[in-house]
């Protein structure tokens, strides 16, 4: 099967030579071809160029994309799409004056989601999660990472990870799986959190690894959740099973989680709403991708990740949704890109780089995804007729997407 797109108003993120990520001032550059064509063969990008020099191509199907922009699908490297039920009551409680931490202390928050997940049959969790995955694919997401962490018992954590595995098997996009058993301390362990870490490390982790249910390890390194010491202990244990770290750090407090992540060669450190100079320093020269989650900041009314400080330090930055029932009940990467521009003062070029190639890097997918490059997977978005790519983040709240292709097939 071959598919030819002609008269593309502008083809974005065209990388003749593949790159794995872009950092600092490079992020201001978004290579494009105006008035372009793009040829897809089966599930791969075969060729592209300017309409002025289009060779004779006999494609099985040709689409005229006059007035429309084509770009790689979004790479969402941080989600909690697998969960059961919702927490709109807590949303109302927060409007009525309770803080996220107060709600957590009352047994709400992550523990509330854990209780619901434990009580919901696996098939039902799958059904609810699949619906969300389909929704985000239609919104332009073509690769996604999903975490466990609403189980908090051996049985329920393994259940979540099996659901992630089933999504990967049944849907035509890359799905990366992360074990986040250390997401919150269950009520039963409130007075003995070390015993919960023992359970995660000695009981659940070996089974996750043995059943090949996760590629990555995660922990919520935060005051009131898990300490720096817990973080080192878990990441050391996970290393023996070959699970690379992608960790939650610096959401509410800076307690040294970024440095710990870098020391353990984390693939990414995520959240970063609170950043000290030491955190920025720790990232310099590392292969760890900082990941910002602006729709979480919007929903919780907490500070946004200081993108300008990170980029001005010549570091890379990726953007992801954090789609989850408590702090970000949205998996819309288009909104994330808008918020990055509006609230974090990233340019449209920086935001699109952060949501495509750098997101792919944060899932170890940038050899195959995240740019328009020959031989990469044919994952791309065709927009509606829009005046320019800057219109995408500008018209926040509008759906500018006409169609989404993953592995060469329309969603």
Size of the site for Zn ion (CB under 5 A): 1
Of 65 and 251, which has the nearer Cβ to Zn ion?
Answer: 251
Q: How far is residue 318 from each of residues 214, 307, 348, measured CA to CA in Å?
A: 21, 10, 13
Tell whether 80 is in a known binding site: yes
Of 322 and 364, which has the nearer Cβ to Zn ion?
Answer: 322
Strands, sheet with 244-249, edge to edge from the N-terminal-most edge strand:
74-76, 141-147, 175-182, 216-221, 244-249, 268-271, 289-292, 318-319
Of 233 and 248, which has the nearer Cβ to Zn ion?
Answer: 248
Smallest distance from Zn ion to CB 320, Å: 9
Smallest distance from Zn ion to CB 334, Å: 19
Asked if 76 interacts with Zn ion (CB under 5 A), we say no
In angstroms, the CA 223 to CA 208 distance is: 26
Of 146 and 238, which has the nearer Cβ to Zn ion?
Answer: 146
Smallest distance from Zn ion to CB 322, Å: 4
Smallest distance from Zn ion to CB 183, Å: 8
No. of helices (H) and no. of strands (E), the chain: 16, 16
In angstroms, the CA 161 to CA 180 distance is: 10
Residue 166's closest CA among 209, 123, 102, 223? Answer: 123
Chain mean position to CA 314: 22
Smallest distance from Zn ion to CB 187, Å: 21
Smallest distance from Zn ion to CB 147, Å: 7
Q: How far is residue 253 from each of residues 95, 160, 221, 256, measured CA to CA in Å?
A: 23, 28, 9, 9
Tell whether 324 is in a known binding site: yes
> How many beta carbons lie within 10 A of that of residue 34, not counting itself?
11
Tell whether 248 is in a known binding site: yes
Residues in the chain: 411
Of 4 and 184, which has the nearer Cβ to Zn ion?
Answer: 184
Residues with Cβ within 8 Å of residue 131, at least 6 apart in sequence = none
Of 77 and 366, which has the nearer Cβ to Zn ion?
Answer: 77
Residue 70's closest CA among 93, 49, 86? Answer: 49
Smallest distance from Zn ion to CB 80, Å: 6
Binding mask 270-309 for Zn ion (x = CB under 5 A): ----------------------------------------
Binding mask 176-215 for Zn ion (x = CB under 5 A): ----------------------------------------
Q: How far is residue 238 from each of residues 105, 178, 242, 258, measured CA to CA in Å?
A: 29, 11, 6, 17
Tell whether 162 is in a known binding site: no
Of 322 and 350, which has the nearer Cβ to Zn ion?
Answer: 322
Residue 273's closest CA among 144, 100, 137, 152? Answer: 100
Smallest distance from Zn ion to CB 210, Å: 25
Site residues for Zn ion, 312-341, by CB under 5 A, read 322
Tell whether 78 is in a known binding site: yes
Residues with Cβ within 8 Å of residue 237, at least 6 apart in sequence = 201, 205
In angstroms, the CA 47 to CA 3 distance is: 11
Half-sphere exposure of residue 96, counting CA atoms within 13 Å on the CB side? 8
Tell whether 327 is in a known binding site: yes
The residue of the chain with the least Cβ separation from Zn ion equals 322
Of 331 and 370, which has the nearer Cβ to Zn ion?
Answer: 331
In angstroms, the CA 58 to CA 20 distance is: 32
DSSP label of 23:
B
Tell whether 326 is in a known binding site: yes
Tell whether 388 is in a known binding site: no
Of 288 and 373, which has the nearer Cβ to Zn ion?
Answer: 288
Smallest distance from Zn ion to CB 22, Å: 24
Specify binding-site residues for 4-imidazolone-5-propanoate: 87, 150, 183, 251, 327
Give the footprint of Zn ion on this chain (CB under 5 A): 322
Specify binding-site residues for Zn(2+): 78, 80, 248, 322
Specify binding-site residues for Fe(3+): 78, 80, 248, 322
């Amino acid at each position: 099967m071959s598919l030819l797109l002609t008269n593309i108003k502008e083809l974005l993120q065209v990388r003749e030579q593949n790159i794995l990520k872009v950092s600092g001032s490079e992020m201001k550059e978004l290579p494009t071809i105006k008035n372009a064509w793009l040829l897809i063969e089966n599930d791969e990008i075969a060729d592209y160029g300017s309409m002025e020099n289009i060779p004779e191509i006999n494609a099985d199907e040709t689409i005229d994309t006059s007035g429309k922009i084509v770009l790689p699908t979004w790479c969402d490297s941080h989600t909690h799409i697998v969960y059961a039920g919702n927490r709109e009551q807590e949303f109302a409680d927060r409007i009525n004056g309770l803080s996220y931490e107060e709600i957590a202390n009352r047994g709400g928050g992550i523990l509330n989601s854990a209780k619901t997940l434990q009580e919901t049959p696996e098939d039902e969790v799958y059904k609810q999660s699949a619906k969300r995955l389909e929704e985000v694919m239609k919104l332009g997401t073509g690769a996604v990472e999903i975490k466990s962490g609403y189980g908090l018992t051996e049985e329920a954590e393994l259940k979540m990870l099996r659901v992630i595995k089933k999504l990967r098997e049944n849907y035509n996009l890359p799905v990366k799986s992360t074990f986040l058993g250390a997401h919150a301390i269950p009520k039963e362990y409130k007075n003995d959190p070390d015993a919960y870490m023992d359970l995660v490390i000695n009981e659940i982790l070996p089974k996750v690894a043995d059943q090949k249910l996760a590629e990555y390890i995660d922990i919520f390194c935060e005051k009131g959740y898990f300490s720096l010491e817990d973080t080192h202990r878990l990441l050391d244990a996970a290393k023996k099973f070959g699970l690379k770290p992608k960790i939650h750090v610096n959401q509410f407090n800076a307690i040294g989680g970024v440095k710990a992540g870098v020391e353990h060669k984390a693939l990414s450190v995520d959240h970063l709403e609170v950043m000290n100079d030491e955190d920025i320093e720790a990232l310099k020269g590392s292969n760890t991708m900082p990941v910002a989650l602006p729709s979480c900041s919007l929903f919780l009314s907490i500070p946004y990740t200081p993108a300008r400080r990170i980029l001005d330090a010549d570091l890379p930055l990726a953007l992801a949704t954090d789609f989850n029932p408590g702090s970000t009940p949205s998996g819309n990467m288009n909104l994330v890109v808008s918020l990055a521009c509006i609230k974090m003062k990233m340019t449209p070029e920086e935001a699109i780089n952060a949501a495509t190639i750098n997101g792919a890097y944060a899932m170890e997918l940038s050899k195959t995804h995240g740019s328009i490059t020959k031989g990469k997977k044919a994952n791309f978005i065709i927009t509606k007729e829009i005046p320019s790519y800057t219109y995408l983040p500008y018209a926040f709240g509008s759906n500018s997407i006409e169609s989404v292709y993953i592995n060469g097939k329309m969603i």
